[in-house]
Amino acid sequence: MTEVYILLTNTRSVLTKLIRLYTKKPYNHASIAFDYALTEVYSFGRKIAGNPFIGGFVKEDVRASLFKQADCAIYSFTVTEAQMQKMKHYLQEIEAAKKQYRYNFLGLFGVMLNKPIDRKKAFFCSQFVATILIECNIIQFEKPLSLIAPHDLQKVCKFQFVYEGKLKEYFHVDSAEKVIAPFPYSLLN
């Protein structure tokens, strides 16, 4: 058995602020991570930090500038070795064909209108995380995956709360004897 993590963030970017005006929710981006230190984090999001309109499959660096001032909530869940291998295989398939995958901007409008908009090889962040969870037999959702928002992931009873606060401060938390290496930049910046 091993732990997998769901990372929900608010990066305070202009796009995030616009989305938050609509959702009224604290977190509007979802990622999946395969280690406590958040070094192996995946999502559908910005391919270029300064441009929110060029999106797709990304391995996220949560220590990069986009996340420097992010608020976050982190949840964990336990998987079997077989489930972990299935998740990693699924990710490898997407990564191998990542040029064929797009960000599902239309799907965001579907969420707003409560109308599922499924597109082939296109995801938005929480749709991607939910798809991994379904494809790997972790959990089932009661609504279409193209309507899953980040706050829906917070409601999954199988997930255990780990941390909430500034993402940069998470790396200084000693939780359950787990020590995380600090960010490479100063907290005073």
Q: What's residue 62's pLDDT?
A: 93
Q: Do 138 and 157 touch, CB atoms closer than 8 A?
A: no
pLDDT tens, the chain, 189 aa long: 899 999 999 988 777 777 777 778 999 999 999 999 999 999 998 887 777 678 899 999 998 888 888 999 999 999 999 999 999 999 999 999 999 999 998 998 899 899 999 999 999 999 999 999 999 999 999 999 999 999 999 998 889 999 999 999 998 765 544 445 444 333 333
Considering the entire predicted model, what is its pTM? 0.87
Q: Which of helix, strand or coil describes residue 92?
A: helix
Query: In terms of DSSP H, where are the helices of the chain?
Result: 14-23, 81-96, 105-113, 125-135, 150-154, 167-170
pLDDT of residue 66: 81
Specify the 3-state DSSP secondary structure of 110.
helix
Contact 46, 56 (CB under 8 A): no
Q: What is the pLDDT of residue 42?
A: 97
pLDDT at 34: 95
Which domains can be identified in the chain, with CATH numbers?
2-170 (3.90.1720.10)
Burial zone of 133 (CB within 10 Å; 0-12 exposed, 13-18 middle, 19+ buried): buried
Sign of CA pseudo-dihedral 36, 41, 45, 51? positive
Vertex 7: Cα angle to 69 and 186 (nearest 5): 30
Q: How far is CA 134 from the centre of its chain?
A: 15
Q: Which two tokens stand for residue 34?
A: 């395969």
